Each structure stands twice: as C-alpha cells, then as structure tokens.
Structure 1
Amino acid sequence: MRSTVQGHVVMHLVVSSELSFRLVVDLEYDADDPYAVRFTFHLPGDAPVSWVFARELLLDGISRPTGEGDVHIHPVGGELADVLIVLHSPEGEARLRAAAPPLIAFLARTDRLVPMGQELTGDEIDAQLADILSQGGARGV
C-alpha cells in the first residue's frame, strides 16, 4: 500500500499587484507524518525551498483566513477561487497565490490515505507510548 501522496501545482510568487512569477510547487504528504504537508518551491536559479506545515491549516485556509506565526493562508477572489499563502521567515515574506481546486484535490487524496481527524488512533498512541517507555527503560532513564 502506498504511504505517500504527491502532486504538483502552479503557484504565483506575488511581488506586487502588477508583478508575479509562475512557480511549479511539489506537494507531498507522508502517512508517517500524518499531520503535515510539504511544499517544495522550485525557484529559478536557486535550490528548491521546502516548507512543512499542518495539513489542517491548508484545509482551513481554503475557506477562511487562518494561521499564526510563519504561515498564514486565506481565500481570495471568491468562493473556492484562489488561495493566498503567506510565508514569513527571517529573510522576509513570500506571498504565493494558487488556484484552490488543485489544492482541494490534493487534500482529498491525503484524506483517502489518512482521514482527517483519524491520524492516530488510541491503540497507535498506546503503542508509541509503550515504545518510548521501553526505550527509556533500556537506557536506564
């Protein structure tokens, strides 16, 4: 069984209201890290840059403004038209605009792999806790 979902989306790096650049962005979701999505931006002349943030943040940002800290996402241009993703780093801010439907399709594929809200069951949490405790005991902690 496949444990990752991958996709590509075209986004626009918004420099100003008159200027933006097209970027191909790789999207990745790994069931081993079920709460996160990875966006890898391919910038002309630079090494790819990856950002990892909550899958739920992306889902919420498609329909309403959301986010705090380094990642903010909100809809623009009408219902399910576009999404603006604002990334803050020490080097500055990047504003990226994408059509909502490809992001929704990607999230739907992640949901088929690991349904939203079912990332870890009680049994899995118990198993992880038992594993952590057994490793600590083996080291004399």
Structure 2
Amino acid sequence: MTQPFSGAPDGTSVTHEVVVHVVVADLQSASLPAELRYDSTDPYAVCLSLGWTATGTVDWVFARSLLSEGVSRPVGVGDVLVIPPHRCHRHSVRIIVRSAAGSAALDIAASAVAAFLAHTDRVVPPGTEGLHIDLDRVVAELMAGSE
C-alpha cells in the first residue's frame, strides 16, 4: 500500500511511502516499508530508503534517469539495476541492489514508481537538472573536502 506524496512547502522535494518486497537468495521474501525521495538540490538523484527501524534505514542513492528508463527497459550496471515489469513480476519494477555483502531484488509497485517519477518531473523537468545545481555550494563542498 502506498501513501500520498508529501513534499517541502516550497515544492522542491518529493517523498513517497511505498512497500518494497525484498527477495534475497536462499531467504524467504519479506515486505518492508520504504520511501522514494527526491530533492531538487540534488536534481539528478533519487533515494530509496528501506525500513524504519531503531537502527535506522538503508539508503540507496542512484540516478533519477536510471529509475525513469528502468520503467520501460532493463538498465544499469554496477550497484543498481532496474528491470521493468515483465511476466515474472507484472505489476512491479524490480530494483537489484548489490554491495560487498551481497545482493537483493527489491520489487516496488510499478504504479507507485510511475506516480513518483511524474511528481519529480513536475518539480524538475527532465533535461533542466543543470539549472537547479548550486555551483557555488558544490565548489565549496569540494574545496572543504580537499583540506
């Protein structure tokens, strides 16, 4: 079950609560609460935040374009792959996440992903991301990291 969108009062962010069905090799699948988040201050990225426990969440940050393209065709290399709905999981977008500890398949309702992406597109239309980057802040962060 998904919850309505929420966002910052100034319309610069999107948060969508979803249920993620987690499939890990040799383990029984489980459903976890999760959030899809987007903020115009990092216009190229989305965050998938899994679980809300006393120990915190597990966050995966990856390209918004990867999620957007993955709704219609398999995309991605490395740590995050996105696979559109197909005969094995007709109503879900599958996100495969990998780390040194292993990998997991995360299934999210395709309708929830599509609605989330549509909302992010209203906040920052695709192709205009560069207009939303604060270059002074980015340079300051880079310079602070080099000290």
TM-score by length of 1: 0.79
Of residues 5, 18, 29, the one that matches 1:9 is: 18
How much does 1:47 deviate?
Answer: 2.9
- Equivalent position of 1:91 in the other structure: 101
Amino acid at match of 1:61: G
Matched residue pairs, number?
A: 130
Mapped partners of 2:83, 2:26: distance in 1: 17
Equivalence map 1:74-85=2 (5 Å)? 74-78=83-87, 81-85=91-95
Gaps in structure 2 of 5+ consecutive residues: 1-9
Of all paired residues, the percent bearing the same amino acid is 41
Q: How does 1:52-63 map to 2 (within 5 A)?
A: 52-63=61-72
The one-letter code of the counterpart of 1:8 is E
Superposition CA RMSD, Å? 2.8
Alignment partner of 2:115 out of 105, 111, 118: 105
Looking at CA atoms only, which structure, 1 or 2, has the larger radius of gyration? 1
**2:79 corresponds to:** 70
Aligned to 1:119, which of 129, 141, 145? 129
Task: Give the stretch that moved more between structures: 108-117 or 12-21.
Answer: 12-21
Residue identity opposite 1:39 in structure 2 = L
- Aligned residue in 2 for 1:139: none
| Alpha-carbon offset, residue 62 of structure 1 | 1.0
**After TM superposition, what 4+ stretches of structure 1 lie above 6 angstroms from structure 2?**
none
Gaps of 5+ in 1: 137-141
Shift of 1:94: 1.3
